[in-house]
């Protein structure tokens, strides 16, 4: 059983997002370690990009700071390695836009990500239509000198579904889903919303009709109460902007991360299934 499958043994899981390099590289590693050791079941580790078109203001601003402080793909992968050294055992999924990965070299990126200890990828600007190039590299493995390394099949490219996806797309996307499904709960960019949509249960059921993979919901979840509400319906709750905002605004980011993880994981554990 790989790390992702292990994480989903106990549902719903808590999945915070935090970008490496914010507010600086060292603090971000401490923050992610603190999230991991205080209740996060899986962490989306953010790679920064200058033009994050699926992100709202909070994540835009945080990743902009990370870039100004000199974050790169290479430094981000080294930070993942450091997290493993510090005894972080939960799955770490790299979440980033496609262009920096292309610039790094896709094969090298996948190879180095696994070496560093990453468990998978979320790439918001790589829909089904464009995912094949990346997927085929995960399957084929990499020729390194004369040594054919094993394939990277165990590293999933997480597929995203949206409320606008019609059933036939949902089916095509969910059919081969690995790891889990990232269900975007609202049309829009990342960021907190005042209320959880009434239609969420129905949306999740539509997805479940096509897959047995865990369904995790993200975009718009900002409070432990909202997390609990979503956790009653989904297998995982993804919290991005609210996490970045709470930790970024604190004088003691590491303590804020501990508190944030404890609160959300407590809310999810209190669900009476």
Partner 1 sequence: MTTLLPHKFGPYGGQFVPETLMPALIELEREFVSARNDPAFNAEFDKLMASFVGRPTPLTYAKRLSEKLGGAQIYLKREDLAHTGAHKINNALGQALLVKRMGKKRIVAETGAGQHGVASATAAALLGLECVVYMGSVDIARQEPNVFRMKLLGAEVRPVESGTKTLKDAINEAIRDWVTNVRDTHYLLGSALGPHPYPTIVREFQSVIGREAREQMLMDAGRLPDTVIACVGGGSNAIGVFSGFVNDEAVELIGVEAGGSGIASGKHAARFGDATKARVGVIHGTRTYVLQDDDGQIAETHSVSAGLDYAAVGPEHAMLRDNERAFYTSVTDEEALNAFQTLCHTEGIIPALESSHAIAEVIKKAPTMRKDQVILVNLSGRGDKDLNTVIKELGTNM
Q: Which two tokens stand for residue 100?
A: 């920096």
Is residue 169 within the footprint of partner 1 (CB under 8 A)?
yes
> Closest distance between partner 1 and the C-beta of residue 248, in Å?
17
* DSSP assignment of 121-138: EE-TT--GGG-HHHHHHH
Site for partner 1 in 230-269 (CB under 8 A): none
Q: Give the phi and the psi of residue 13 in degrees, each rounded to 5.
A: -100, 155
Residue 68: active-site member? no
**130: DSSP letter:** G
Task: Give the one residue of 9, 129, 139, 251 binding partner 1; rule: CB under 8 A.
Answer: 129
Tally of CA atoms within 13 A in the half-sphere of 269 that contains its CB = 10
Q: Of all helices (H) and strands (E), which one includes residue 122?
A: strand 120-122
Compute the least distance from the CB of residue 84 to partner 1, in Å. Answer: 23
199 is catalytic: no
User: Quick check: 53 binds partner 1 (CB under 8 A)?
Assistant: yes
Secondary structure (3-state) at 84: helix
Between residues 49 and 260, which has the closer beta carbon with respect to partner 1?
A: 49
Instruction: Give the CA count within 13 Å in the CB-facing half-sphere of 266.
Output: 9
Q: Write each residue from 63 to 102 as x if it is in contact with partner 1 (CB under 8 A), else as -, in one continuous string.
A: -x--x----xxx----------------------xxxxxx
Residues 6+ apart with CB under 8 A from 245: 58, 192
| Residue 113 near residue 80, CB atoms below 8 Å | yes
Nearer to partner 1, 7 or 110 (CB): 110
CA distance 31 to 22: 9
Binding of residue 141 to partner 1 (CB under 8 A): no
176 contacts partner 1 (rule: CB under 8 A): no
Task: Single out the segment in contact with partner 1 by CB under 8 A; choices: 27-35, 185-193, 235-243, 245-253.
Answer: 185-193
Interaction with partner 1 in 22-51: which residues (CB under 8 A)? 49-51
Asked whether position 127 contacts partner 1 by CB under 8 A, the answer is: yes
CA distance 249 to 257: 11
Q: Which residues are catalytic?
A: 44, 55
**Interface residue list for partner 1 (CB under 8 A):** 49-54, 56, 60, 64, 67, 72-74, 97-104, 124-130, 160-166, 169, 172-173, 184, 187-189
């Amino acid at each position: 059983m790989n790390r992702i499958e292990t994480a989903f043994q106990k549902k719903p899981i808590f999945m915070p997002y935090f970008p490496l390099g914010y507010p600086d590289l060292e603090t971000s590693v401490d923050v992610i370690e603190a999230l991991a050791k205080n209740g996060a079941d899986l962490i989306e580790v953010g790679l920064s990009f200058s033009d994050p078109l699926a992100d709202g203001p909070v994540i835009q601003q945080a990743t902009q700071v990370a870039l100004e402080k000199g974050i790169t793909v290479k430094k981000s992968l080294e930070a993942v390695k450091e997290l493993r050294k510090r005894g972080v055992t939960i799955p770490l999924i790299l979440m980033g836009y496609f262009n920096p990965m292309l610039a790094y070299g896709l094969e090298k990126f996948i190879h180095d990500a696994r070496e560093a200890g990453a468990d998978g990828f979320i790439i918001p600007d790589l829909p089904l239509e464009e995912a094949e190039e990346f997927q085929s590299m995960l399957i084929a493995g990499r020729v390194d000198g004369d040594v054919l390394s094993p394939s990277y099949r165990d590293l999933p490219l997480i597929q995203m579904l949206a409320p606008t996806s019609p059933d036939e797309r949902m089916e095509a996307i969910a059919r081969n889903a690995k790891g889990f499904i990232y269900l975007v709960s609202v049309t829009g960019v990342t960021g907190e919303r005042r209320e959880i949509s009434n239609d969420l249960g129905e949306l999740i059921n539509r997805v479940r009709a096509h897959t047995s993979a865990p369904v995790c919901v993200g975009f718009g979840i900002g409070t432990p109460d909202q997390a609990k509400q979503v956790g009653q319906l989904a297998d995982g709750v993804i919290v991005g902007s609210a996490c970045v905002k709470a930790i970024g605004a604190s004088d003691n980011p590491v303590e804020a991360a501990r508190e944030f993880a404890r609160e959300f994981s407590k809310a999810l554990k209190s669900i009476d299934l």
